Amino acid sequence: MTAFENPDLHCHSIRSDGHLTPTELVARALANGVDLLALTDHDEIDGIDEALAAARGSPLRLLPGVEVSTSFGGETIHIVGLGIDHRHRPLAEALAVLRAGRAGRAARIADELARCGVPDALAGARRLARNPELVSRAHFARHIVACGLMPDVRTVFDHYLATGKPGFVPHRWAEVDEAVGWITAAGGVAVLAHPARYRLSGSQLDTLLDCFQAAGGEGVEVVGGAHTEEEMRRFARVARRRGLLASRASDFHGVGEGPVDLGCCNPLPQDLVPVWSRFC
Ligand code: AMP
Ligand code: MN
Ligand code: MN
Ligand code: MN
């Protein structure tokens, strides 16, 4: 069915909130036997040229990608774009606007954290962000861990940064159909990222997927670092029922952060149509 044995179609470099450079990510993926890797930084594509250069002449094919932040019914929804033309101007311009909204949001997160007794969080998060345009909640979480206030990033999210927690600041990202439009106009395939993570009822998820597919979205992450076996089975059923392409995605950010290393997710259920059939 497919020419790829170990695809991993979602990961982050230091150009967003990952710990490795694009070159280091490619090297780690190669060492783990990955043969198709998508670099999907949050709202950012400027690591792709470095990743492509690192993969050139190796057995690994690098797929240019992005993870676009969107808002839907009060929840933040991530849409991954795979196989994009990262030089497509309208996409680059739309992502620049999204990144620009992060600075004010970061300042507001820091204000909320100060109220919770976490001082100087903005300076701390900025220090950890290697891309000044891309301060993410992950940088705030790492700063709080580095200060010794919480044992690990997960605990920080549970106490402060997850939706509705005291350090959470609602933010208006892109619309779902807009993001899908940017991705498809840039020649990419739009994939709904880590669908089990969203706090949506069954019918809200259906509405989201209706909107996503009507806009031209074609894939869903079925197997991923964020999914349990049961969630994997649930989204395999969703993919079958809706005729969605299935993706396999570690969402790797760095060693020791997150449950799965590059290329170490379970295989996709055999009957699903893999999203990488588009890239064979
Ligand atoms: P942002 O784009 O600034 O909202 O940050 C989102 C990022 O925060 C995600 O991509 C993850 O890297 C991280 N994140 C979100 N939720 C969690 C969580 N529960 N545990 C650990 N990291 C998380
Ligand atoms: Mn992230
Ligand atoms: Mn995500
Ligand atoms: Mn991600």
What residues line ligand 1, using a CB cutoff of 6 Å? 17, 42, 69, 136-138, 153-154, 157, 162, 253
Query: What pLDDT does 256 receive?
Result: 87
pTM for the structure as a whole: 0.98
Distance 245 CA to ligand 1 centre (A): 25
Could you tell me where the beta strands, DSSP code E, fall in 94-242? 174-175, 189-192, 219-224
pLDDT tens-digit readout, 162-189: 999 999 999 999 999 999 999 999 999 9
- Backbone φ and ψ for 201, nearest 5 degrees, come out as -70, 170
Residue nearest to atom 17 of ligand 1 (CA): 157
Interval 84-107 mean pLDDT: 98
Residues 115-151: tens digit of each pLDDT: 999 999 999 999 999 999 999 999 999 999 999 999 9
Following CA atoms 38, 40, 41, 44 in sequence, which dihedral angle do they give, to the nearest 10 degrees?
110
Q: What atom of ligand 1 comes closest to residue 76's alpha carbon? A: 4
State the closest ligand 1 atom to the C-alpha of 171, by its place in the atom list counted from 1: 4
Q: Which protein residue has the closest C-alpha to ligand 1 atom 21?
A: 154
pLDDT surpassing 60 at residue 239: yes
Q: How much is the pLDDT for 268?
A: 97
User: Has residue 70 got a pLDDT over 80?
Assistant: yes
Q: 22-50: string of b/e by CB count within 10 Å (b at 16+)?
A: bebbbbbbbebebbbbbbbbbbbbbbbeb
The confidence band for 199, taking pLDDT boundaries of 50, 70 and 90, is very high
Residue 275, both tokens: 């999203």
Q: Which domains does the chain possess?
A: 7-99+177-279 (3.20.20.140), 102-161 (1.10.150.650)
How distant is the alpha carbon of residue 143 from its chain centre? 20
**Cα gap 115→120, rounded to integer Å:** 11
CA 208 vs CA 66, 72, 111, 195, 251: distances in Å: 20, 7, 32, 10, 21
Neighbours of 228 (CB within 10 A): 10
Question: What separation in angstroms does the CA of 240 have from each of 19, 203, 233, 243?
Answer: 35, 17, 11, 5
Phi, psi of 92 (to 5 degrees): -60, -40
Q: Which of 15, 71, 133, 157 to mutate to test the pocket of ligand 1 (most atoms within 8 A of CB)?
A: 157
Work out the mean pLDDT of the chain and round it to a whole number.
97
Residue whose CA lies nearest to ligand 1 atom number 3: 136
d(CA 168, CA 60): 38
pLDDT of residue 3: 86
Interval 1-12: pLDDT, tens? 458 999 999 999
pLDDT tens by residue, 256-280: 888 999 999 999 999 999 999 999 9
Joined together, the tokens standing for residue 134 give 């891309």
Looking at residue 35, its pLDDT comes to 98
Query: How does residue 66 score in pLDDT terms, banded at 50, 70 and 90?
Result: very high
Counting atoms of ligand 1 from 1, which one is nearest the CA of 69? 2
